[in-house]
Amino acid sequence: MFGWELPPFNSGGLGVACFGLSKALVARGSKVIFVLPKKQPIKADHLKLVFAGDGIDYLIVDSPLSPYLSSESYDEEYGNLDSKKQRLYGANLFQEVERFAQLSRAIAARERFDVIHAHDWLTFGAGVGAKEVSGKPLVVHVHATEFDRTGGHNINEHVYGKERWGMETADRVATVSGFTKDIVTSRYGINPDKVEVVHNGVEMSADPRRKVGETTLAFKSHGYSVVSFVGRLTIQKGADYFLRTAKRVLEVNPRVIFIISGSGDMERQLIAEASYMGIGDKIIFTGFLRGEELAEVYRASDLYVMPSVSEPFGITPLEALIEGVPVLISKQSGVSEVLKHALKVDFWDVEEMANKILGVLAYPPLKDTLGEYGSAEARGVTWDKAAEKCLSIYGKLTSGLT
């Protein structure tokens, strides 16, 4: 299995997904060799970890690599590194991807395996390389496409080309949703018969404590409700729609606090916009959070909102539901395919989003029912189901060979 990142060295959902899926595959009796582009002190006892950078002096700190970087922002980050570190990385993201692909061939020649599984375009080159060396079938797994990342504007032709080439070369394509399958077939021209939907799962939180932070408790004691957003502050995640919705909600019900948790290239713009709208005092920007701090944001919320413009899957609503918090999600998301007990809106429909938020805050049974049934539903969205689906794909591919 070729991946680009694993927790805790992840910048988003891709690493979480790779970790969850591989763990569930191992639990079902598979052996997984997980190949990463660079060495990191990752604790994953269930996996045999292989680093493409093994044997070479690679430093991990200040890595400019992230699956969510555009090539432009890679260049910028790379320029910020000192010269010693610059030598350790390719001069741009594409070179780095290319380096990974080259190194993977040696790994494929050395290791023994039955199926190759590569996650997202950054690893497609590595996957195809391994296929060429070993002759084993290749599954490419699409967690996000260039159309999601850019909101459909300024598609990077190089990335698009890599994605398309990977999917065409692969024996099978797995997508994290029907939503993404549609993009893969309509925008990349991939034969739908070759594409299988493997919905993501969610890790149960091991800690059932329902601790809420003191700040939010103070707000609540003054009769305020809390509505939250968690995600990178980029076009794709629709934080700007969240802000406009907040404005509309506050016109009717001023006793609401909105939490925006995450970082990204739109952060400054959003903060400025909130002040400009005159609602700066009702919006809390927390920056990027993980672990217990993130769970606290969920628990403090009366409602969690995911207004993504284009969301291949979207794990955060499931995380919120696991904490018992009801969710409002955009219809332009993969997770809306697996969640019935959620409020759903088109991301652009600010008026309806505000209507639903106001409804949840005004009518407690709405909040309670959504939370109760949604939580039960989210607990059924497991990585085990995803692993089962993958195993059936592997089974078809390998039986075809023997």
Residues that bind another protein (CB under 8 A): 251-253, 255, 340-344, 351-352, 354-356, 358-359, 362-366, 368-370, 373
2 touches 130 (CB < 8 A): yes
Angle at 381 between CA 375 and CA 382, to 5 degrees: 125
Q: Is 132 helix (H, G, I), strand (E, B) or coil?
A: helix
CB of 324 to another protein, least distance (A): 15
DSSP 90: -
Interatomic CA distance for residues 75 and 52, integer angstroms: 22
Q: Is 130 helix (H, G, I), strand (E, B) or coil?
A: helix
Interatomic CA distance for residues 78 and 65, integer angstroms: 9
Interaxial angle between packed helices 71-80 and 93-110, expressed in degrees from 0 to 180 and rounded to the nearest 10: 90
161 touches 139 (CB < 8 A): no
CB of 327 to another protein, least distance (A): 11
Distances (CA, A) of 64 to 61, 68, 366, 375: 9, 11, 44, 37
CB of 381 to another protein, least distance (A): 14
Residue (of 358, 4, 308, 365) closest to 177 by Cα position: 308
CB atoms within 10 A of CB 64: 21
CB of 325 to another protein, least distance (A): 15
> Which residues does 263 contact at the CB level (< 8 Å), separation at least 6?
232, 233, 287, 288
Interatomic CA distance for residues 262 and 341, integer angstroms: 25
Interatomic CA distance for residues 373 and 352, integer angstroms: 22
CB of 366 to another protein, least distance (A): 6
Q: Which is nearer to another protein, 75 or 377 (CB)?
A: 377
Residue (of 228, 246, 327, 244) closest to 286 by Cα position: 228
> Which residues does 268 contact at the CB level (< 8 Å), separation at least 6?
none
Q: Which is nearer to another protein, 95 or 369 (CB)?
A: 369
CB of 182 to another protein, least distance (A): 19
Burial class (CB in 10 A: 0-12, 13-18, 19+), 383: buried
Place of tokens 């919905």: 199
Q: Which is nearer to another protein, 327 or 393 (CB)?
A: 327
Q: Which is nearer to another protein, 251 or 293 (CB)?
A: 251
Q: Which is nearer to another protein, 98 or 352 (CB)?
A: 352
127 sits in which H/E element:
helix 121-134
Q: Which is nearer to another protein, 370 or 378 (CB)?
A: 370
- Structure tokens belonging to residue 266: 């739109």
CB of 365 to another protein, least distance (A): 4
CB of 243 to another protein, least distance (A): 18
CB of 301 to another protein, least distance (A): 17
CB of 249 to another protein, least distance (A): 9
Q: Which is nearer to another protein, 284 or 360 (CB)?
A: 360
CB of 214 to another protein, least distance (A): 26
Q: Which is nearer to another protein, 72 or 351 (CB)?
A: 351
Q: Which is nearer to another protein, 101 or 226 (CB)?
A: 226
- Structure tokens belonging to residue 385: 């189901």
Q: Which is nearer to another protein, 33 or 366 (CB)?
A: 366
Q: Which is nearer to another protein, 8 or 254 (CB)?
A: 254
162 touches 171 (CB < 8 A): no
